[in-house]
Amino acid sequence: MGFCRLVCLTFSGLLSVAVCAGEDTAKSQQELVQNFTEIHQNMMAKVAVADMLFGCKLEKQEVEASGSELQTYIVDTDRNSLAEQLMACIGEENIGSEMALNFGIIGCFSDQTRHLEQQEQQQKMTQVADAMKVISKEERQKSFTQCVNNQALQYLQVEK
């Protein structure tokens, strides 16, 4: 009889330890997800500003589409500096303007096509420019958000 109680107590003790361990694991996973979400959101904001700045500088012919400036902006430049440079580049426009959005799209897709041969990259960027003329601001915003999301994930993998 004593052996049965000992086994039952031991079993119930193991079960409660296992349940506690399961709760700790779930809590740890939830914390990891929350941390990743925060890091990803911060990276997306930085990438979006960097894309807009790069697109603006491309428009003003201050950088080349095949250059590494965009990567430098994202990896090595702090957010506040990027924001200041962007504001100087876009002048009286605000960051939510169609002009800034278009600069962002150009910057983002330039980064996404940088691995291509120059002629092929120029063709793709011409297609992007043509598409921007006919799609709504809302559709351009969705496209930009998706592009920035993809970029942010790539840069987060690089930073590992």
Average pLDDT over residues 73-82: 93
Q: Is residue 44 part of a domain?
A: yes
Distance in angstroms between the alpha carbons of the first and the last residue of the chain: 57
pLDDT of residue 159: 64
Calpha distance 64→71 (Å, rounded): 13
Calpha distance 145→108 (Å, rounded): 10
Q: Is residue 20 part of a domain?
A: no
Q: Is residue 122 part of a domain?
A: yes
**pLDDT range class, residue 151, cuts 50, 70, 90:** very high
**CA neighbor of 112 nearest in space, from 66, 79, 59, 74:** 66
> No. of H helices and E strands in the chain?
6, 0
Calpha distance 88→19 (Å, rounded): 56
Q: Is residue 10 part of a domain?
A: no
- What is the domain range of residue 131? 34-159
Q: Is residue 132 part of a domain?
A: yes
Which is higher by pLDDT, 121 or 9?
121
What pTM, to 2 d.p., does this model score? 0.79
- Are 58 and 104 in contact, with CB atoms under 8 Å apart? no
pLDDT one-digit tens code per residue, 78-133: 999 999 999 999 999 999 999 999 999 999 999 999 889 989 999 999 999 999 99
Domain count, the chain: 1
